[in-house]
Chain A
Amino acid sequence: MDWSAIALSLRLAAATTIVLLAIGLPLASWLALSARRGRWAVDALVALPLVLPPTVLGYYVLVMLGPRSPVGRAFETLTGSPVVFSFTGLLVASVLYSLPFAVQPFAAAFAAVDRTLIETAWCLGASRLRTFARIVVPLARPGIVAGAVLTFAHTVGEFGVVLMVGGNLPGVTRTVSISIYDDVQALNYARAGRTAALLLAFSFVVLALTYRLQRRSGRAWPIAS
């Protein structure tokens, strides 16, 4: 089995999840709790990766971050290597591609938090940030966990964007899905089959565990009615 591809996929998925928690939680809280004007536009932007072919997304990431773009040039001057066809490039593309998988469950979970509790916390003197950290996030935890797990699993399984932005550099940008594609191209069905089975089992276990956890935490926080 292509262990270096598996390790890379896991590393990419973990990094994507962390970045999306950092970006997605504030974005989702804005969407769910305070957005008035312009919410529809941001909602649509966040959902775009659900409907766009990965090639379109990958194309724009290439154009935006490529050696001829201002961002790409600045990055290359700073680090000495281009963004595209590197782990950083992959990470940027994965974050964009998995954005709805994180933000939508987060926002749904925040929106489901009883508004009265938020207002009560404000009236008890808690700042917006403290209210968010102590009331909103703990009560939305099942949704946050779901978003993080979906992001992780979705990133492990992504293919098209990785191929567009990262290419196929062993150990650098060749992820599990690319490795399976390579094996099939090379008619190495046995190895492709093993990796595919592993990915299938992994995805099932992750999702099953998530649903199981959701259920249990649903009982741990019985919302008083």
Chain B
Amino acid sequence: MRADLELEPGDSRVLVLFGPSGSGKTTILRCLAGLDRPQEGFIRFGAEVWFDAAMGVNRPPQARRLAYVAQDYGLFPHFTVEENVRFGMDAKRSVATPRVESILERVHLRGMAGRLPAQLSGGERQRVALARALARDPALVLLDEPLAALDLPLRDPMRQELRQFLRSIDVPSVIVTHDRVDALALGDRMAVLSGGFIRQVGSVPEVFSRPADVVVAASVGVENVVAGTVVEIADGLATVRVGDGSIRATADVAPGPVFACIRAEDVTLERSQPRDVSARNQWTGRVVALQSEGSVVRVTVDCGFVLTALITRPSLDELRVAPGSTVTALVKATAVHLVQRGST
């Protein structure tokens, strides 16, 4: 497999490695950690050379000052929470203990120091793993499928917590995931992998909205990702402000930054303003581009934000639209999926 990626040390942004299982994303993470060895190429972190096949350099994981959190967290079962967190610290016990306490407080684990991992819930285990990673004062944080080990009801709150945690540390992080919501909620940038290649690297909304090729489009699935802010919630209906316009969605979210995700096939286009208002969102815009994809046509509309619609060829003929013509885009509020981006 091949991968060209650039990350800046000291950058607190989150890079998501996204792809189906077997696409090579975990291998990249393990190469960064020093657990696997690439056949060729190099890995540099700032001025440090971590790996260079030509120069025969391969720093062991111990010398990379990183925090690697495995999918099932890798908590040492015979150690208490406190011993787990202290394990990665070089400091003596008397120095380490107050620091361990403050870190545990930070991840809401106060009073749990004496427990064994087996006595913790899934969410608490994740927090211990993050606390242990933080205690090491890492220069790079690597997380392998951080939410996959959690039960579904826990996943949403822990995702928000994880996002806030990653934002609060001034360290770049790399997250491996195959989950779209994880990528949207946690990532700043993302790299899409497929078949051992990196297909696209870009900001999260960019990759979702403008996939580089068919493979990326198929794996990310959602065509429209619009960044906005939830400004009002009433009767289970959230209003998201996007530039001058707004998007309404049925969603149970708190006010704050979100990504509004709309699948292209959920967007209906009309020539004139229709009377039927059961579709809650109506935007009038100008057709920017038409792209034929077999029996369907991808229509890009600029309505304050860019919206892509997937419509059949007969309905396109009925619409009689061309680049430049004005259309009304309709999307049901239930078809808009909001992904919260945390309070920061």
Contact = CB atoms under 8 A, between A and B. Distances in A.
Interface stretch (B2-10, B41-49, B68-76, B263-271): B68-76
A139 B60 CA distance: 23
Contacts of A138: 78
Contacts of A135: 76
A33 to B, nearest CB: 14
Nearest to A220: B78
Which of B70, B90, B125 has the most A CB atoms < 10 Å from its CB? B70
A222 B75 CA distance: 12
Contacts of B118: 222-224
Interface residues of B, number: 28
A120 B74 contact: yes
Contacts of B88: 124-126
A117 B75 CA distance: 7
A120 B70 contact: yes
B90 A123 contact: no
Interface in A92-149: 114, 116-117, 119-127, 134-135, 138-139
Contact of A223 (B62, B64, B77, B87): B77
B297 to A, nearest CB: 48
A122 B70 contact: no
Nearest to B83: A134
Contacts of B68: 119-120, 123
Nearest to A125: B62
Contacts of A134: 87
B62 A126 contact: yes
Given A119-B35, A121-B87, A224-B125, A127 B62 contact: yes
Which of A114, A116, A127 has the most B CB atoms < 10 Å from its CB? A116
Contacts of B75: 224
Contacts of A139: 77-78
Contact of A117 (B33, B34, B74, B116): B74
B136 A124 contact: yes
Contacts of B87: 121, 124, 126, 134
B117 interface: yes
Nearest to B67: A123
Given A121-B87, A122-B34, 19 more contacts: A116-B70, A116-B74, A117-B74, A117-B76, A119-B61, A120-B70, A120-B74, A123-B62, A123-B66, A123-B68, A124-B88, A126-B87, A135-B76, A139-B78, A221-B77, A221-B78, A222-B116, A223-B77, A225-B72
A123 B33 contact: yes
B132 interface: yes
26 contacts: A119-B35, A119-B70, A119-B74, A120-B74, A121-B76, A122-B34, A122-B61, A123-B33, A123-B34, A123-B62, A123-B66, A123-B67, A123-B68, A124-B88, A124-B132, A124-B136, A125-B62, A125-B65, A126-B87, A127-B62, A135-B76, A139-B78, A221-B77, A223-B77, A224-B117, A225-B72
Contact of B35 (A117, A122, A127, A225): A122
A135 B34 CA distance: 19
A139 B35 CA distance: 21
Nearest to A139: B78
Instruction: Summarize B's interface: helix, strand, loop or mixed.
Output: loop
Interface residues of A, number: 21
Given A222-B118, A224-B118, A224-B125, A123 B77 contact: no
Interface in B320-339: none
A118 to B, nearest CB: 9
Nearest to A118: B74
A123 B87 CA distance: 11
Contacts of B65: 125
A194 to B, nearest CB: 44
B128 to A, nearest CB: 10
A123 B35 contact: yes
Nearest to B125: A224
Interface string B87-100: 11010000000000
Which of B35, B64, B76 has the most A CB atoms < 10 Å from its CB? B76
A116 B76 contact: no
Contacts of B64: 123
Nearest to B129: A120
A87 B75 CA distance: 46
Interface string A209-223: 000000000000111
Contacts of B117: 224
A116 B75 CA distance: 9
A107 B47 CA distance: 41
Contacts of A124: 67, 87-88, 132, 136
Contacts of A114: 74
Contacts of B136: 124-125
Contacts of B67: 123-124
Which of A116, A120, A223 has the most B CB atoms < 10 Å from its CB? A120
A138 B76 CA distance: 10
A221 to B, nearest CB: 5
